[in-house]
Amino acid sequence: MFTFENVYKIMNLGSAVESMPKIRLDKLIKRYGAVQVLHGIDLEMDEDEFTVLVGPSGCGKSTTLRMIAGLESVSDGEIYINDKPVSHLEPKDRGLAMVFQDYALYPHMDVARNISFALRLQKRPKAEIDAKVREVAATVGLSEFLHRKPGALSGGQRQRVAMARALAKDSDIFLFDEPLSNLDAKLRGQMRAELGVMRQNVHKNMIYVTHDQIEAMTLADRIVVMHGGYIQQQGKPEELFKRPANKFVAGFLGSPPMNFLDAELKSDGDQLFAAGDGFKLAVPSELAATLGETAGAVTLGIRPSDLNYDPDAADDVALDLRVTVSEYIGAQSVLMCACGGASVTVELKSETPIALGETLRFAVRPEGIHLFDRKTEKAL
Amino acid sequence: MNSQTFNKLTPYMFMAPAVIIMAIALLYPLGYMVYGSFRDWDPSQSISETEFVGFKNYITLFFDPAFRESLSVTLIFAFTVVIAEMVIGVGLALLLDRNIRGMSVLRTLFILPMMIAPVVVGLMWRYMYHPTVGTFNRTLKSWGFEGVDWLGQHALLSVIIADIWQWTPFIFILALAALQSLPRSALEAARIDGATGWQQIIYIKLPLMMPVLIVTALLRLIDAFKVLEVILVMTEGGPGLSTEIVALRISRTATEFRELGTAAAMSNYLLILLLFFTLAMFAFTRLQEARAARLARQVQEEG
């Protein structure tokens, strides 16, 4: 049967066989004195892949990117670009372009000179440089501002200059270090969309660091979730969203974040149940089949989007939640509820009449049940 | 007095003590000097007994070859030391702007000369320059070279060297501060854009440091015009007039030649020169501010 999903699979398989990984990190380690901040990062990025490194502050994502760029030294391990080790090379000899969080424009040069700096250093012919600057400036919508200094540009325009400067270099690899985090929310959304469009037209390896999981989900071919100097999980956005490898990834991706409840696994006849303070949910048979003999104590994870308001749901597929806080955010309201001693967040259409303190019944979508080992926090 | 005028006056009342002290300590002597420069004035006379001579003191000075010589020595001295100190100070700052072990000790050592009293510096260098027992000539002779007549034939060069030794650290710490406040990421961007160490200095670091460097140079220049103690102790302006800078000549005119009016007029010439540099400095900073304000306004207007 012809589906786009199949086409996608075939294409992906094909490309995986043909192309060599463009960038490979091999047991990359970073130490500052006695403190180790990266603990052996192994990562392969395919040709033309848009890889997003995402994680909370201090997880090592920016350090990893800066090591690839050559701005931080490598304590141990190696970085390969096109199978060539590069960790001993200067940044300028690695053939990459980078967009910085604070844009890093040269304040004393106008937009045109900012964009053309790398080309001028390469002593390219003036006509070629001018043509390139005009072309790139047009791509990012800066043509009218070529003779402005960065000080006379708004945040969004500066961001575009940084982008244009990276594009003008014709590098094979683009690095982005939280490029949108200095912009206000509206502009960030707009620039994110523009980046997405640019992504369609520019077929290069891109590595993008962000702490914003929405940027990560919307832009990435491959998401790499990092935490505490380790890679927690990597893969396609939907893969990570649907099958998080551990509790951290499950809680990090998705907004509002996943709810976690302490539960015990109990068999009752053929059926396996996850029971806790005030609930007893049937574990779907597909999931139960993969569990095997596991200890009883688990963490139950359910995303707010997998909880649907349904007063008529059966006991073993539903949670009874007492509303404690309601946040109106337009069409939807986000409800903070109590489920026994735990707190659970759900989303609800705003027109549903509810009162604080009321107990409501929410049906759990069977595929929305995630179980994690309570000790190792690994997905079961 | 109603409360509104009282409120308006309040800030001036708070300012009054400072204004009065400034007037007594600064404006009064200055006015006295300007007044005195128009009179034929011997130290034995009180100023009321002196005779008004108009611009005579200024005109005599203008055509006085000794004063002109003194002025040209001052100009040569000031510009030479400032240029040399800028080059060495900024160069050192560029070299030492990095994190290596013991750097803070090194930096402290570098700025020590600045902290020594000028008279001590003068004495120290006079002994080091001494033709027979001085460090320099003894070292030269032990290497088998001829001794150099430092404070004789090369007096101006010798005082220039001493001043460079003492005041390069001033440029160094200001240049270092300027360097360390440069946007780190812009330098990183330059490294990725392919700039070598030299290219980073020429295209990024120096242009971005320029506002600080210009003000620093002007400050040093103003200071170099007023230098007195080191030269007084080392050479007393000699041999001949070869190191007699204007400040020294003023002091000698007043004490040895006992011509207070001429000394005052000379001071005024120096004052006018310094005022010119000071105004240049103000104009430069105002220009910078105006430019920054204009850019900010431009952004705001566009929303």
Q: Does A33 touch chain B (CB under 8 A)?
A: no
Nearest to A108 among B191, B207, B292 (CB): B207
Q: Is the dihedral of CA B269, B274, B277, B282 positive or negative?
A: negative
Per-residue pLDDT reduced to its tens digit, B60-80: 888 888 888 888 999 999 999
Of A252, A280, A300, the position where a domain reaches its end is: A252
Q: Based on the fold, state whether residues A288 and A355 are members of the same structural domain.
A: yes
Distance (Å, whole) CA A270 – CA A134: 70
Report for A44-48, B10-14, B82-86, B259-263: range of highest mean pLDDT: B82-86
Q: What is the mean predicted confidence (pLDDT) over A85-108?
A: 90
Nearest to B299 among A100, A105, A154 (CB): A154
Q: Does B202 touch chain A (CB under 8 A)?
A: no
Q: What is the mean predicted confidence (pLDDT) over A357-367?
A: 89
The C-alpha of A74 sits at a distance from chain B's nearest C-alpha, in angstroms, of 17
The pLDDT of residue B20 is 92
Q: Given pLDDT bands bounded at 50, 70 and 90, which one contains residue A205?
A: confident
Q: Based on the fold, state whether residues A90 and A37 are members of the same structural domain.
A: yes
B194 contacts in chain A (CB < 8 Å): 92, 118, 121-122
Contact yes or no for A152 and B299 at CB 8 A: yes
Closest CA to B291 of A151, A312, A379: A151
Q: Is residue A355 part of a domain?
A: yes
The phi, psi pair for B214, rounded to 5°, reads -65, -45
Delimit the domains of chain B by residue range: 65-302
Q: Is residue A54 part of a domain?
A: yes
The pLDDT of residue B85 is 95
Distance (Å, whole) CA A252 – CA A266: 28
Distance (Å, whole) CA B43 – CA B53: 16
Give the pair of three-digit tokens for residue A80.
């390969």
Q: Based on the fold, state whether residues A50 and A178 are members of the same structural domain.
A: yes
Are the beta carbons of B162 and B121 closer than 8 angstroms?
A: yes
Q: Which domain holds residue A71?
A: 4-95+172-252
- What are the start-end ranges of the H helices in chain A? 4-18, 61-69, 111-121, 126-139, 155-168, 185-201, 213-219, 237-242, 247-252, 285-291
Q: Based on the fold, state whether residues A274 and A231 are members of the same structural domain.
A: no
* pLDDT of A182 above 80: yes
B302 contacts in chain A (CB < 8 Å): 154
Q: Based on the fold, state whether residues A90 and A205 are members of the same structural domain.
A: yes
* pLDDT of A15 above 70: no
The pLDDT of residue A14 is 39
Beta bridge partners of A54: A210, A225
Q: CA nearest A68 in B: which residue?
A: B192
Q: Is residue A229 part of a domain?
A: yes
- CATH number for the domain including A63? 3.40.50.300
CATH code for the structural domain at B65-302: 1.10.3720.10
Q: Is residue A73 part of a domain?
A: yes
Per-residue pLDDT reduced to its tens digit, B105-162: 888 888 888 888 889 998 999 899 888 888 888 888 888 888 788 888 888 898 999 9
A107 contacts in chain B (CB < 8 Å): 183, 186, 208
Q: CA nearest B206 in A: which residue?
A: A108
Q: Given pLDDT bands bounded at 50, 70 and 90, which one contains residue B303?
A: low
Q: Based on the fold, state whether residues A242 and A271 are members of the same structural domain.
A: no
* pLDDT of A248 above 90: yes
Q: Is residue A163 part of a domain?
A: no
* pLDDT of A6 above 60: no
Q: Does B87 touch chain A (CB under 8 A)?
A: no
Nearest to A92 among B192, B204, B208 (CB): B192
Q: Is residue A134 part of a domain?
A: no
Q: Based on the fold, state whether residues A320 and A224 are members of the same structural domain.
A: no
* pLDDT of A5 above 60: no
Nearest to B208 among A90, A107, A152 (CB): A107
Q: What is the mean predicted confidence (pLDDT) over A95-112?
A: 90
Q: Is residue A291 part of a domain?
A: yes
Of A223, A252, A281, the position where a domain reaches its end is: A252
Of A222, A237, A252, the position where a domain reaches its end is: A252
Q: Based on the fold, state whether residues A82 and A199 are members of the same structural domain.
A: yes
Per-residue pLDDT reduced to its tens digit, B238-251: 787 788 888 888 88
Distances (CA, A) of A212 to A138, A315, B175: 29, 37, 39
The pLDDT of residue B1 is 59
Q: What is the mean predicted confidence (pLDDT) over A159-171?
A: 89
Type of residue found at B250 = I
When scoring A68, A71, A129 by the number of chain B Cβ atoms within 10 A, the one with the most, hence best to mutate, is: A71
Closest CA to A255 of A178, A325, A345, A371: A345
Q: Does A149 touch chain B (CB under 8 A)?
A: yes
Q: What is the mean predicted confidence (pLDDT) over B283-300?
A: 81
* pLDDT of A77 above 60: yes
A154 contacts in chain B (CB < 8 Å): 299, 302
Q: Is residue A15 part of a domain?
A: yes
Q: What is the mean predicted confidence (pLDDT) over A252-281?
A: 86
Query: How many domains does chain A contain in total?
Result: 2
* pLDDT of B100 above 80: no
Contact yes or no for A121 and B195 at CB 8 A: yes
Contact yes or no for A165 and B189 at CB 8 A: yes
The pLDDT of residue A10 is 39
Per-residue pLDDT reduced to its tens digit, B252-281: 888 888 888 888 888 988 889 888 888 988
* pLDDT of A4 above 70: no
Per-residue pLDDT reduced to its tens digit, A18-41: 444 588 999 999 998 889 999 989
Q: Does B301 touch chain A (CB under 8 A)?
A: no
Percentage of chain A lying above the pLDDT 70 cut: 93
Q: Given pLDDT bands bounded at 50, 70 and 90, which one contains residue A17?
A: very low
Nearest to B186 among A92, A104, A122 (CB): A104
Q: Based on the fold, state whether residues A192 and A84 are members of the same structural domain.
A: yes
Q: Based on the fold, state whether residues A293 and A189 are members of the same structural domain.
A: no
Contact yes or no for B194 and A92 at CB 8 A: yes
Q: Based on the fold, state whether residues A86 and A180 are members of the same structural domain.
A: yes
Q: CA nearest B294 in A: which residue?
A: A152
- CATH number for the domain including A265? 2.40.50.140
Q: Based on the fold, state whether residues A36 and A177 are members of the same structural domain.
A: yes
A108 contacts in chain B (CB < 8 Å): 207-208
Nearest to A153 among B185, B189, B299 (CB): B299
